[in-house]
Amino acid sequence: MTIKKAPSRGARKAAAPAAASKVAVAPKVAAPAKSKSASKVPVAPAIADETSAPMIAAATSDGSLAAAEAATVGTKFSDLGLSAPMLSALADAGYKHPTPIQEQAVPLALRGRDLIGLAQTGTGKTAAFTIPIIERLLGGPHRTRALILTPTRELCVQVEESFKKYGIHSGLEVIPVYGGVGYDPQTKALRGGVDVVVATPGRLLDHLEKGNVVFDELEVLVLDEADRMLDMGFAPQINRIVAQIHPYRQTLLFSATMPPEVEALARKYLRKPQVVQVGRRSGAATTVQHYVYPCPKEKKSALLTELLKSKAMDSVLVFTRTKHGADRVVKHLEREGIKAGAMHADKTQGQRTQALEDFKSGKVRVLVATDIAQRGLDISGITHVINYDVPQQAEDYVHRIGRTGRAASTGDAYTFMCADEIAMVRTVERVIAQQIPRISVPGYDFGT
């Protein structure tokens, strides 16, 4: 078999990893051909008045609304009918042009319509609902009028930060409510009155049952990363929470995928929702280059160390399947003199926050995490995502690699594949509709 060199990364002005300079692609896989007219594809229109699961499913099927990743450089935030304080906040943050999901969703949400927003991670879904909610609440009474439910503590904090950034001139108060931290400060803030509550379902339900918060005057409910919340088993808590909210509200549901369970949730809680989809239903980020490294299981840690010798690997997020696996990888890297942190469910909230801050600041260049980090981490500048273990669910691959190549940036996704993971990689390739080049590293491949 002819062995060819790995493709050049010169277009990104970043050298390939040191180990890759000696490696080869086997076999060489051509990149998907790019359409000459891709940049001229119009943003897909929203689908109005979907009242049943079959209609929602039809609206979100592959190909029907998949052209919405066209650039929106011709549209400015000032074209969306936003107020002067909001435009000022966006200017302060350095934003001029909305992303495709924001361009479509913001005007619809401003008109008070229920909305289903479908887009990959890293496409700006959070701002797509925080901006219109802030606009709606401006100048209104000081009471709890908006609730955002999120699946993880990290996403909860990210949404809170988004509200603070875009609402800097609004005077609105927002509180994050999640477990793993002190209960009393949350109780005091909720009873004192806030405009926006961003919460994980479990901790919020505790506060509701204790009477620390009421939603009698709630105007907007957001179910963020709805597919992930259902995957994590939050359906019973969501049902109990929504049962305490009056039906005359605006409901916004955002999700990366639209499985039947999410369709059922939408049918139950949304009224004639409009559907906005950006990109393919299970599409991987188009700004990410994918590579698979065949490697025996017992050599994965050594291969990771070898790849990390490259200076191009400046900010690296590594995913493992288990919590113990994450800790083992961190210990191995530290023995090799590579600063790394771990993030998983066995860590306290303080430890998880510290690990994240160390990674963001560059104090550590490697963060090793379980799938707790595959959603909701908004970290700019992640150059590489490495799947130390192939995810068991192909959809999780899409979410994992969405941590790099965010917005207009580019990134690399490496997947270490041992012999019993070959079938899982092939499933991933079918889901993302592309073959992934194999990189053979001498001394680490199956035959060495």
Strands (E), 170-239: 174-177, 196-199, 220-223
Q: What are phi and psi of 421, to 5 degrees?
A: -110, 0
Strands (E), 119-227: 146-149, 174-177, 196-199, 220-223
- The token pair that represents 367 in the structure block: 């963060």
Sign of dihedral through CA atoms 262, 263, 266, 267? negative
Report pLDDT for 72. 45
For the chain, count helices (H), then strands (E).
15, 16
DSSP state of 144: -
Q: Which ranges of 243-364 does DSSP label H, i.e. alpha helix?
A: 260-269, 300-307, 323-335, 349-361
- Secondary-structure class of domain 4-30+286-440 per CATH: alpha beta
DSSP state of 94: T
- Cβ atoms of residues 150 and 223 within 8 Å: no
- The token pair that represents 158 in the structure block: 């990210």
| Residue showing tokens 């549209």 | 75
Q: 38-277: what fold? A: Rossmann fold (3.40.50)
| Residue showing tokens 């860590």 | 347
- The token pair that represents 254 in the structure block: 């955002």
DSSP state of 47: B
Taking alpha carbons only, the member of 258, 245, 255 closest to residue 204 is 245
User: Beta strands 439-440 and 24-25: pairing type?
Assistant: antiparallel
- Cβ atoms of residues 258 and 270 within 8 Å: no
Sort 33 into a burial class: Cβ within 10 Å, 0-12 / 13-18 / 19+: exposed
* CA 234/CA 431 separation, integer angstroms: 26
| Residue showing tokens 């790995």 | 6
| Residue showing tokens 């004639």 | 272
b/e map 199-224, b = 16+ CB within 10 Å: bbbebbbbbbeeebbebeebbbbbbb
Report pLDDT for 410. 59
301-306: list long-range contacts, CB under 8 Å, 24+ apart: 301/328, 301/329, 301/332, 301/333, 302/444, 303/19, 303/416, 303/441, 303/444, 304/329, 304/332, 304/333, 304/386, 304/388, 304/416, 305/332, 305/333, 305/336, 305/338, 306/18, 306/19, 306/441, 306/444
* CA 108/CA 99 separation, integer angstroms: 15
Q: Report the 10 Å Cβ neighbour count for 161.
A: 16
**Region(s) of the chain under CATH 3.40.50.300:** 4-30+286-440, 38-277
Report pLDDT for 250. 96
pLDDT in tens, the chain (448 residues): 333 334 434 444 333 343 333 333 333 333 333 333 333 323 333 333 444 344 344 443 333 333 333 344 578 898 998 999 999 999 998 888 898 999 999 999 999 999 999 887 667 889 999 999 999 999 888 889 999 999 888 889 889 999 999 999 999 999 999 988 888 999 999 998 899 999 999 999 999 999 999 999 999 999 998 888 887 788 999 999 999 998 899 999 998 878 788 888 899 999 999 999 875 444 444 567 889 999 999 999 999 999 998 888 888 999 998 889 999 999 999 999 999 998 887 888 788 888 888 888 889 999 998 876 555 565 667 888 999 999 888 877 877 776 554 444 557 889 999 989 999 999 888 888 888 999 988 888 876 5
* CA 250/CA 133 separation, integer angstroms: 10
Report pLDDT for 376. 52
- Cβ atoms of residues 171 and 140 within 8 Å: no
* CA 71/CA 264 separation, integer angstroms: 32
Beta carbons within 8 Å of 390's beta carbon, 6+ residues apart = 397, 415, 416, 417, 421, 424, 425, 428
- The token pair that represents 283 in the structure block: 């599409």
- The token pair that represents 359 in the structure block: 């990674």
- Cβ atoms of residues 431 and 394 within 8 Å: yes
Mutual angle of helices 84-92 and 125-137, in 10-degree steps: 140
* CA 22/CA 44 separation, integer angstroms: 44
Sign of dihedral through CA atoms 351, 352, 355, 361? negative
User: If DSSP codes are grouped into helix, strand and coil, which group holds residue 162?
Assistant: helix
Report pLDDT for 58. 40
b/e map 415-443, b = 16+ CB within 10 Å: bbbbeebeebbebbbebbebbbbbbbbee
* CA 317/CA 384 separation, integer angstroms: 6
> Which helix (H) or strand (E) is 396 found in, with range?
helix 394-401
